[in-house]
Amino acid sequence: MESNIVEAVTIAGGVGVADFSVWGLFQRSDLVIKATMIILFVASFWSWTIIIDKWLKLRRLSSDAEKFEENFWSGGSLDELYERLGTRPGDPMAAVFAAAMSEWRRSSSRGLATTDELRANLRERIERVMEVSLTREMERIERYMVFLASAGATAPFIGLFGTVWGIMNSFQAIAVAKDTNLAVVAPGLAEALFTTAMGLIVAIPAVAAYNKFSTDMNRYSQRLEGFAAEFSAILSRQLEETK
């Protein structure tokens, strides 16, 4: 009887006494289950890489925005602030400011705001430049967010595929061994449940992080839009004063 149990375990994918550790489950599984586990492991690793990167980046963006707003509203010269920042600052809010100032100085140097119509065109160009810069900066911030959404949506189904495959292996082991002993089905079921767990391990952090970061990014985008609107109003007043 003991030899039959050992044989059944071997048929189900085990070697001798079944090892139910993570590494043992991986070694004992067939190529399909191995591929599923590897895909989920890579997805988990890449998800956590993105999560850590986004968390650090959003913290830095918030800090940089506070520093820029402090300098912007300090009452100093905007031209001096622009000279310090340069044409391509790393902070998105500063980049929106630099884009608007660049268009403003380019137009002012050519004397293109001499009539009401030209002033209105200049305001429109400045607003468009800030909008383009804001969109470009947000696209950079939101990069790889699609992967988190995809991982959160698909990982459970990938794990479910491994679960179905593992159960199929268990039924095949029963058919070959002609024995419903737990030793026959346990290895395949363990592999099946492990792939399900891996799918959830990938999906839960990815979904939670996606929701959190999406909220933070929307809040930051509104902050940029608010700054752009305020800066546009400041430039409009300056245009009115040059009449």
SS (H, E, C) the chain: CHHHHHHHHHHCCCCCCCCCCHHHHHHHCCHHHHHHHHHHHHHHHHHHHHHHHHHHHHHHHHHHHHHHHHHHCCCCCHHHHHHHHCCCCCCHHHHHHHHHHHHHHHHHHCCCCCCHHHHHHHHHHHHHHHHHHHHHHHHHHCCCHHHHHHHHHHHHHHHHHHHHHHHHHHHHHHHHHCCCCHHHHHHHHHHHHHHHHHHHHHHHHHHHHHHHHHHHHHHHHHHHHHHHHHHHHHHHHHHHHCC
Q: State the pLDDT at residue 213.
A: 96
Q: State the pLDDT at residue 114.
A: 54
Q: State the pLDDT at residue 84.
A: 86
The more confident residue out of 207 and 106 is 207
Helix axes 31-72, 78-85, angle to 10 degrees: 150
Structure-token pair, residue 87: 């044409």
**How far does Cα 155 stand from its chain's mean position?**
15
- On average, the pLDDT of the chain sits at 81
Domain residue spans of the chain: 2-87+142-241
**Residues 181, 22 contacting (CB under 8 angstroms):** no
What percent of the chain has pLDDT above 70? Answer: 77
Cα separation, 214 vs 138, whole angstroms: 11
Say which range, 10-19, 63-72, 104-113, has the weakest mean pLDDT. Answer: 10-19
**Residues 207, 53 contacting (CB under 8 angstroms):** no
| Mean pLDDT score, 25-38 | 80
What residue type is assigned to position 72 of the chain?
F
The more confident residue out of 29 and 95 is 95
| Mean pLDDT score, 69-88 | 83
Residue 13 — left, alpha, or beta (φ > 0 → left; ψ -120 to 50 → alpha)? left
| φ, ψ at 30 (rounded to 5°) | -85, -175
Say which range, 25-39, 41-55, 140-154, 211-225, has the weakest mean pLDDT. Answer: 25-39
Q: State the pLDDT at residue 3.
A: 40
Q: What is the pTM of this model?
A: 0.78
* pLDDT at 228 > cutoff 60: yes
Q: State the pLDDT at residue 184.
A: 61
pLDDT band at 176 (very low <50, low <70, confident <90, very high): confident
**How far does Cα 70 stand from its chain's mean position?**
29
Computed from CA positions of residues 123, 125, 128, 130, in that sequence, does the dihedral angle turn out positive or negative?
A: negative
